[in-house]
Amino acid sequence: MDQRQKIDDLIQRYRSAYGVTSTEQTRGLPNEAFVSQTYFEEEQKRLFARSWVFAGTRSDVPEKGDIKPVSVGGRSLLIVRDQSNKVHVFNNVCRHRGAQLVTCELKGRRTITCPYHRWTYDLAGELRVRPHFEGHENHGNIEKEDRQKFGLLPVRFATWHDWIFINLDGKALEFDSFIEPIRSRYSGYPLENCHRGNVAFFEFQSNFKLVLDNWADNYHLFAVHPALDQTMANEDRKSLENVGPHAFCRYGFIGDSDTGIELTRGDVALPRAEGMSEAYQRSGGLGTIFPNIGLFASPTCFLFINMRPLAVDKCQMEVHFYYGSKEAAVDDKYAEARQALEAQWANLNEEDMTICHRTQVGRSCDDFDGGHFAPFWDLAQINLHRQWADAMVGEGLFSAVDQ
Ligand code: FES
Ligand SMILES: [Fe+2]
């Protein structure tokens, strides 16, 4: 049996043993899903190609002529804003002999030129120049239809707010159907009036699935985040609710805090976004987007968090902070308030890093059986593990297996 078949076999055994059992009897994914290099590689090729996955933001390419290379599912891609202000996602590969085109962020460009033989593309992806194509100093013409035919290879993508999601295999269900169950939970939050401030990075010595598991875990607040625990209304403490492939819960804030996490805010409080619903004025929204995104809405800040897999036992948490207005996001007047809020998230992440690493180390125990979930708290985890498994074999919401 080759390595790929072994993964298929492992997942099919997991699905048939636990896919439809009660929440009491189900188990988490087997250890291999968190420690095996082969599993990691297959997961990049399968899960990250079949699902809609986050690739970057429109804020990353704010001006015409901006180009940003990103890597998703082991593929090198480009996010580009062309001269007519349209955003594109392309494979970062030259159509001639396959050289990677861009390796760093670029600004103010009208074209992309391959360093190998200087084929040159415009930012809408059309091939415009092929120097010496027909001999020395004989560049020839590129027929109109060839500009597209040999143009940059586009990637299927869609956006919600600032966030660009891609589907590499082109076969996932329509993006609107995918995202609507979670998007609708945030409909009272006026994201359109929000503006991105800082992006913070944290390296976790754990598999990305364990970090998302932990993000969707309301059970660990007692033990791991005592300060945060003080801000959360008791009646709202339960598992996140599964909404399609995603998960969500709303909870009220208590005590002195009217904004949850923002226990200290400096002298000037951050303004709230215009148009916020009553419900979001005094409550938070904790969510996930399958397969690797965390969300958190508080009255003055919306967090979008990418758990980017770096290795089987390592991931980078990339935290995008969206504030209630452009002023709130960039103005010096609010710098202290932003720093206080962002420092609190950094503290929380420090607390989570340690515990996530322990769940990673725990997977080296051969006798660990995937874990026994707590039905009151872990409904989101149960759903996540099943879906991560489904995606590996092309079942569930994902495209059919076609290998
Ligand atoms: S590989 Fe790009 S121009 Fe030849
Ligand atoms: Fe946590």
Domain segments of the chain as ranges: 53-159, 187-391
Report which ligand 1 atom has the smallest distance to the Cα of 130.
Answer: 3
pLDDT of residue 262: 53
Q: Tell me how far the alpha carbon of residue 168 lies from the centroid of ligand 1, in angstroms.
A: 23
Pocket perturbation via mutation, ligand 1, pick of 94, 112, 120, 132 by most ligand atoms within 8 A of CB: 94
Protein residue with least CA distance to atom 3, ligand 1: 117
pLDDT of residue 267: 54
pLDDT of residue 1: 75
pLDDT of residue 258: 54
Report which ligand 1 atom has the smallest distance to the Cα of 97.
Answer: 1
Pocket of ligand 1 (CB under 6 A): 94, 96-97, 99, 114, 116-119
Which CATH architecture best describes the domain 187-391? Alpha-Beta Complex (3.90)
pLDDT of residue 259: 55
Q: Tell me how far the alpha carbon of residue 214 lies from the centroid of ligand 2, in angstroms.
A: 6
Question: Which-ligand-closest: CA of 99?
Answer: 1
Q: Tell me how far the alpha carbon of residue 234 lies from the centroid of ligand 2, in angstroms.
A: 17
pLDDT of residue 91: 98
Q: Tell me how far the alpha carbon of residue 181 lies from the centroid of ligand 2, in angstroms.
A: 24
Mean pLDDT per 10-residue segment, the chain (403 residues):
91 89 88 97 96 97 98 97 98 98 98 98 98 94 96 98 97 95 96 97 98 96 88 86 95 66 58 92 92 95 97 98 96 93 93 97 97 94 95 81 41
Report which ligand 1 atom has the smallest distance to the Cα of 94.
Answer: 2
Q: Tell me how far the alpha carbon of residue 192 lies from the centroid of ligand 2, in angstroms.
A: 28
Q: CATH says 53-159 is which class? A: mainly beta
HEC string of the chain? CCHHHHHHHHHHHHHHHHCCCCCCCCECCCCHHHHCHHHHHHHHHCHHHHCCEEEEEHHHCCCCCCEEEEEECCEEEEEEECCCCCEEEEECECCCCCCECCCCCECCCCEEECCCCCCEEECCCCEEECCCCCCCCCCCCCCHHHHHHCCCCECEEEEECCEEEEECCCCCCCHHHHHHHHHHHHCCCCHHHCEEEEEEEEEECCCHHHHHHHHCCCCCHHHHCHHHHCCECHHHCCCCEEECCEEEEEEEECCCCCCCCCCCCCCCCCCCCCCCCHHHHCEEEEEEECCCEEEEEECCEEEEEEEEEEECCEEEEEEEEEECCHHHHHCHHHHHHHHHHHHHHHHHHHHHHHHHHHHHHHCCCCCCCCCECCCCCCHHHHHHHHHHHHHHCCCCCCCCCCC
pLDDT of residue 205: 98
Question: Which-ligand-closest: CA of 348?
Answer: 2
